[in-house]
Structure 1
Amino acid sequence: MGEIVNLNKARKARARQDADADAAAKRAKHGRTKAEKMQDAQAEARRKALLDGAKKED
């Protein structure tokens, strides 16, 4: 015979787990320092400048 499961507790546990995963994703997206954001912006600007400089003119 199988184990008896309280469906209400199982539902709440799954919701809690989903909320924790969502919070971790948001921390990874928004939890960066100002210096990290500026460094990424500078790297993106360098990348765009390099691509624009290598572009052939018609």
Structure 2
Amino acid sequence: MSKIVNLRTTRKQMARTQKQRAADANAALHGRSKAERLREAQEAEKLRVHLDAHRRKT
């Protein structure tokens, strides 16, 4: 005899799986690691400080 399956639960699980696949694909295309984000923020801060140091006082 076969196992009884709740179709609603199966559909929800399939939808979760598809959403996870899409999220993984987006992360691969657009995602950056924490180290990359931190390095970029540090470079932006360094550039801002450098420009502020060369600003004319009026």
Into which bin does the TM-score normalised by the smaller protein fall? Answer: 0.5 to 0.7
Aligned residues: 35
> Which segments of structure 1 move beyond 2 Å, counting only runs of 4 or more?
32-35
* Residue 25 of structure 1, CA deviation: 0.1
In structure 2, distance between residues paired with 1:24 and 1:3: 32
TM-score of the aligned structures, taking structure 1 as reference length? 0.54
- CA RMSD of the aligned region, Å? 1.7
Q: Specify every segment of 5 or more residues in structure 2 that has no aligned partner in the other structure, as ranges.
A: 40-58
Q: Counterpart in 1 of 2:8?
A: 8
Unaligned runs of at least 5 residues, structure 1: 36-58
Q: Calculate the TM-score normalised by the size of structure 2.
A: 0.54
Which whole-Å CA distance do the structure 1 matches of 2:31 and 2:2 have between them? 44
